[in-house]
Structure 1
């Protein structure tokens, strides 16, 4: 019986040892798996934590973009030429442009609208053409023959009331009809040929030269249309055949001519009349006086648009030209009355800027 109890005990010990051996790897494995968890917690605990006093980076402000068309940032040359009517207005803009810092050279030749288009469209010398009339189809064709070709863009910059003037000593006429005006600048030789109540004195005529857009406009409006002539050239011949005719591309010469004789008569842009004050007398036509209101609403028979012309290729190749034209369009209404002309409507001003923007597109 004692021997049997020992055997049972030995068996139990063996079984218990086997059980311990089986359990030992599991405990070791459990202990090994637990170590990485402790390591991760420890690593996380060592990360720096933000504090309330830590400085935060200030937001950066974008640098202001410089205006590429600022006159003060530009140099180079700009060449304008053309109308004696638009010339003084362009000159006023040039003075402002230079005063605002432009460091280049600006040339402004007053040679008449036709001669201006010759330099712009035939020889290709100029960057901008001043004109007191719209460009002709033949002039556009000449522009397109240049290499590279030019496609003229017209900017309507003002309104003029082409003014018919006499000497202030003229005490017999203050108003004329369109029919009388036609005779005064064509077939009549004496004032009395137009109206028997007027003196039997020779009519001394002072008119712009044949290169002038003012001459073209006047002849078309006062001679060709009233007489229903087929062509402008026929009307020009009639005007040039008039007696005692004095022509000049320089409106100042015309001013002096009218001021020098009681029986003189002439016509030119309103600015030249305004600049002379009491030294000249303006005539009303069909009872309508030339002024801002009648020029803008078109009731004055000789109101007309004023233009500058350029080309998109020139504007892109010469930033100073593009800048000058934009400056012209943005500032013309602030100086035009001082020069002696009248501003365009806001609708026309907006259209001008749209044309400029389209020209500058890539």
Structure 2
């Protein structure tokens, strides 16, 4: 592919431009700061735009005015690969960096919540099975946790969560909401008959107040939980890990969000984290290959690496070796 003039003249940008996921942002920032301190290159500039927002910017084109890397707390979608291709972004390197759990946390001033994925679906879905029975759905009538499940507190459902552009929201909807939705056998059967209707029912979050969009800043959600002990917040495990003196993670299906529980897969709301690189920019924007080498070093993403200290769950060693090899050879996605 012929490079655009702007990439050919990429010396006009002497730093790496990174966008994307608010969950991956703190990990990428640590790597970028170390890279800036220990190499001859400038510290990369990182913006927290959300996974969807980052991929939109990333796929907009090749050239100095477009980002080199986008962080994502979910895998790239086929529709995004298509959008990239339409704008000349064809050779994309996918790097999985580790795992993260999605946490529902509240203030330590109150009791820890013990929730199931079914509770979460009934509390937060736009439409739910009719409480009166029968195989039909109705607009969500539930106002308190106790109405959802008699064993839960008689407090108002209030959950601060990420917006639709967030990979955390995508993953939460898929892992938690859909996980609870398909506990209803008639809805599970719908998946084979009418996948679109099934997805709409299981993946659509209510818009009548109990779910409050709190932007892409997970630190802000943590601060709000401190000031309001009645609300729950949704964010990545690393933010719980960094703020464990103030907030606590809810048990989901009886399992607490711990480093070990996410690593061994027993915590039910966990997901992989990624970043995507434009191969066309490697060798044109200074330092991309070296940044990738730093990120994929054992001292960064290894079992005892500095990213694990920040709350990222390392991949198994064989998986790390595979992605490190892909980085070395600049292997693009098929």
- On whether the aligned pair clears a TM of 0.5, the verdict is yes
Unaligned runs of 5+ in 2: 1-12, 126-139, 182-187
Which residue of structure 2 lines up, in the alignment, with residue 94 of structure 1?
A: 32
Cα distance, 1:104 vs structure 2: 2.2
Contact 1:315–1:360 (8 Å) recurs in 2: no
Cα distance, 1:107 vs structure 2: 0.7
Larger fraction in helix: 1
Which residue of structure 2 lines up, in the alignment, with residue 161 of structure 1?
A: 101
Which residue of structure 2 lines up, in the alignment, with residue 353 of structure 1?
A: 324
Tell me the SS of whatever aligns to 1:317: coil
Contact 1:143–1:152 (8 Å) recurs in 2: no
Which residue of structure 1 lines up, in the alignment, with residue 149 of structure 2?
A: 195
Which residue of structure 2 lines up, in the alignment, with residue 144 of structure 1?
A: 85
CA distance in 2, matches of 1:274, 1:118: 30
Tell me the SS of whatever aligns to 1:162: strand
Which residue of structure 2 lines up, in the alignment, with residue 7 of structure 1?
A: none
Contact 2:282–2:288 (8 Å) recurs in 1: yes
Bigger relative contact order, structure 1 or 2, given CA contacts below 8 A and separation 6+?
Answer: 2
Query: Aligned pair count?
Result: 285
| CA pair 274-108 structure 1, distance change in 2 beyond 3 A | same
Q: Which has the larger radius of gyration?
A: 1
| TM-score between the two structures when normalised by the length of structure 1 | 0.73
Q: Name which of structure 1's ranges 217-226 and 157-166 shifts more when overlaid on structure 2.
A: 217-226
Cα distance, 1:123 vs structure 2: 4.5
Contact 1:93–1:332 (8 Å) recurs in 2: no
| TM-score between the two structures when normalised by the length of structure 2 | 0.79
Unaligned runs of 5+ in 1: 1-74
Tell me the SS of whatever aligns to 1:278: coil
Cα distance, 1:358 vs structure 2: 2.6
Per-residue CA shift, 1:189-212, capped at 9, x if unaligned? 212112234443311110011110
CA distance in 1, matches of 2:61, 2:202: 26
CA distance in 1, matches of 2:29, 2:120: 32
Cα distance, 1:286 vs structure 2: 1.4
Q: What aligned pairs does 1:147-296 form with structure 2 within 5 A after superposition?
A: 147=88, 149-171=89-111, 173-186=112-125, 187=140, 188-227=142-181, 228=188, 230-231=195-196, 234-235=200-201, 238-247=204-213, 248-296=215-263
